[in-house]
A and B are shown apart, each in its own frame.
Chain A
């Protein structure tokens, strides 16, 4: 441990004692659900020189890793479970299944600190809020969005997990907040394709107009910008490695990753993609998954923003796992 003297005014400093306290480890970019193997796997190394590690837990229908990367919610045989122990490089399902959880969720929207999550089913049109993750779990009853009319398109939750935000397309299309009891219209939007919350700001992507709206969750004040790109499919607000608040956007046709300054909504970076992205999902501190693997032989596609966004593939060393007898789906 090095000691440094910080003072108001010029005083003396303590020189660090001994270098043996420096500790080494191998970098792991993050954890991700790998559909072809139905497993959660590490991305070993840093993007650009990384690979998928062996499955930590398998036989999963679907999984979503919490922002802290130490636990996840996984679905096995239709039942949602909490997966613990990811931070230690091992993993296990907690038994029994998440108490009170609706079966067959299709997605998980996490709060920023991972203490709250909203499980949802786009096809079933329901959401279910969980707080107190991972240890002091509280679940609310699943709520159908059917009374809103239209179809569920996107879900997000605030940092506390007390409020969920849903996107509804079709009849009564718009973005609604849900406080656990009632839905309230935040913004009428034709096709809310993606929602994300950063700090107290909700970001909404309207795929019908390629418009991004920022809504203050405290004041409900909103502001919208039309993006230059067409066929936008996903967005994610973040703070990049340079400490700048940015908004990442990907498009589906002529695929491209664009980076906007989230304050001015000026585009500050753009990277053409050689593949069709499916969304933007956090992977590591400054990295995001753009396209999970779909079949064996596919790489995972991700990007890192170490000041400038750069897109990388992450190979899956299939030979290694064949030797270990882990089947690829």
Chain B
């Protein structure tokens, strides 16, 4: 079934006369049209008329009686052939009688509905009365040939082994459901069933970047002569679940496209490499995420780090990129997650507080955002164990004439400390009867780790212990009497390694 689309129309109008079976009638027949030269025609001729669908062309046949009696036309002209777009009328009131030399006009109007060719017959009955022959009946007759000027495009495609032609009740090209990550194609045939060539300057899918695409767009401009056609291959690659609409545009004409995406294939198994079991506190291990096999479309995902435990979470437990979430992508058909500028290996900080750290990934298709996360995603989990404290640095600060402050920086994953042991080593020429001091830190450490201010540092701390020294001569500095200081820290689980600082 033909379907007119858009505003493709040809505005040509024309008429003409073709020779046909001729029967003598007592009339001179002259075909007239406004703006055109009058043409004498014979009875039985074919009048050819053409007009664009929706427009009209009217011609007039001037009928002049040439007999010796008189002729009477009593009934209106008759068009034989229904729904052809032809109509006819007598210019004047019926019945009318023509004496020799008198004329009457018979109008013929062609108003085509479609860009097709039609034929009809025009009959103008008359009676002639002459002195010699008495009353005779006859008819003026013309064949009518009408051409609706324009193109008429027929769209059709094959689905399920059947050819589907678009029509007013079947308006869209409909794809069968396609699994997200897959594609399907429909070959759309376009036939010009009209009467004039049609030229397309631009053909494409209206929704740029959408799931519909032209596989091999034709060279433009594309001209289809009457009776010829072409084929367009339309690809549907769904990126989202459910129905989606698109539009094929051929200049200003449009063809609706309908498709639907179904659930994508399951994500292949994956592994997250990184620390396992008990991780070393205050370290920056690398992690990576790898699929067992490539996935057909690009994946975007997020890796979320959570920290659980009985102690306040250490805010230093973060990814290298900052924060506790990081985005990644896995390019289509590849296996390694890429963490932005950090690449496939991403660092994280284990922090300084005993806790369990869990990395949980989520996955979705990069285009369309369809979730691919398994119901129970594989996670990476490791722990920072409660352990003896670690002493990182020992400094002597705030030097005065009589003393200085020993400043010890370290961390305790239990956020608790018992004691700080300090050992002074005197410089040559000096002695120190008591050189080792153990300071009970239990209470003051509990106070510190009980404050919200301490939460910002996890298990890290700096403890400062001021010392004054006696027995120095007036010209002696404190530091000249000491060659080095070493210290250890203890909590309930043990004692740190000693750290020593030499006095310059």
Contact = CB atoms under 8 A, between A and B. Distances in A.
A51 B318 contact: yes
Contact of B318 (A10, A23, A46, A317): A317
Given A22-B439, A49-B314, A7 B319 contact: no
Contacts of B349: 48-51, 315
A1 to B, nearest CB: 5
B419 to A, nearest CB: 9
B443 A27 contact: no
A298 B341 contact: yes
Contacts of A5: 432-434, 469-471
A324 interface: no
Nearest to B395: A285
B502 A3 contact: no
A6 B461 contact: no
B457 A4 contact: no
A299 B448 CA distance: 29
B302 interface: no
Interface stretch (A11-19, A69-77, A129-137, A205-213): A11-19
A24 B445 contact: yes
Contact of B461 (A1, A13, A26, A239): A26
B501 interface: yes
A131 to B, nearest CB: 24
B430 A45 contact: no
B461 A24 contact: yes
A24 B448 contact: yes
Contact of A12 (B392, B433, B468, B473): B433
Interface in B464-485: 464-473, 478, 481-482
15 contacts: A2-B465, A5-B432, A6-B426, A6-B472, A14-B434, A19-B441, A20-B443, A20-B444, A24-B444, A46-B392, A46-B460, A51-B349, A298-B321, A299-B321, A315-B320
B420 interface: yes
Nearest to A287: B393
B134 interface: no
Contact of A312 (B284, B443, B453): B284
B352 interface: yes
A44 B431 contact: no
Given A3-B470, A4-B434, A12-B433, A50 B444 contact: no
B151 to A, nearest CB: 56
B341 A297 contact: yes
Interface in A261-294: 285-286
Contacts of A16: 437, 439, 467
B251 interface: no
Contact of B322 (A3, A8, A20, A316): A316
Given A3-B468, A317-B315, 18 more contacts: A2-B437, A2-B468, A6-B431, A8-B430, A16-B437, A24-B445, A27-B462, A44-B316, A45-B352, A46-B393, A46-B460, A48-B282, A49-B349, A243-B504, A313-B284, A316-B322, A317-B322, A318-B323
Nearest to A4: B469
**Interchain residue pairs A-B with the least CB separation, the first 3:** A13-B434, A24-B448, A26-B457
Interface residues of B, number: 71
Interface in A35-53: 44-46, 48-51
Contacts of B229: none
B474 to A, nearest CB: 13
Nearest to A312: B284
A248 to B, nearest CB: 18
A25 B464 contact: yes
Nearest to A44: B456
Nearest to A14: B470
Contacts of B282: 46, 48-49
A25 B473 CA distance: 34
B453 A26 contact: yes
A282 B482 CA distance: 28
Contacts of B411: 46, 49
B470 A4 contact: yes
Contacts of B437: 2, 4, 15-16
A325 interface: no
B251 to A, nearest CB: 46
A315 B319 contact: yes
Interface string A93-124: 00000000000000000000000000000000
Dominant SS among interface residues on chain A: loop
Contacts of B465: 2, 21-23
B463 A297 contact: no
A7 B427 CA distance: 11
B429 interface: yes
Given A1-B467, A2-B437, A22 B420 contact: yes
Given A14-B470, A44-B456, A19 B440 contact: yes
A4 B461 contact: no
Given A3-B469, A4-B434, A6-B481, A45 B441 contact: no
B454 A26 contact: yes
Given A10-B431, A243-B502, A315-B349, A22 B463 contact: yes
Nearest to B431: A10
B466 A21 contact: yes
A239 B503 CA distance: 12
Contacts of B440: 19
B235 interface: no
A306 to B, nearest CB: 6
Contacts of B467: 1-4, 16
Contacts of A9: 431
B403 interface: yes
Contacts of B456: 26, 44
Interface in B302-328: 314-316, 318-323, 325
Most chain B CB atoms below 10 A, which of A7, A20, A316, A319:
A7
Interface in B29-67: none
A22 B438 CA distance: 12
Contacts of A22: 420, 439, 441, 444, 463-465
A44 B284 contact: no
A297 B315 CA distance: 17
B364 interface: no
A241 B395 CA distance: 9
A48 B426 CA distance: 33
B347 interface: yes
Contacts of B454: 24, 26
A272 to B, nearest CB: 14
Contacts of B351: 49
Given A13-B432, A297-B340, A24 B460 contact: no
A45 B316 contact: yes
Interface in A119-175: none
B337 to A, nearest CB: 16
B283 interface: yes
Contacts of A12: 433
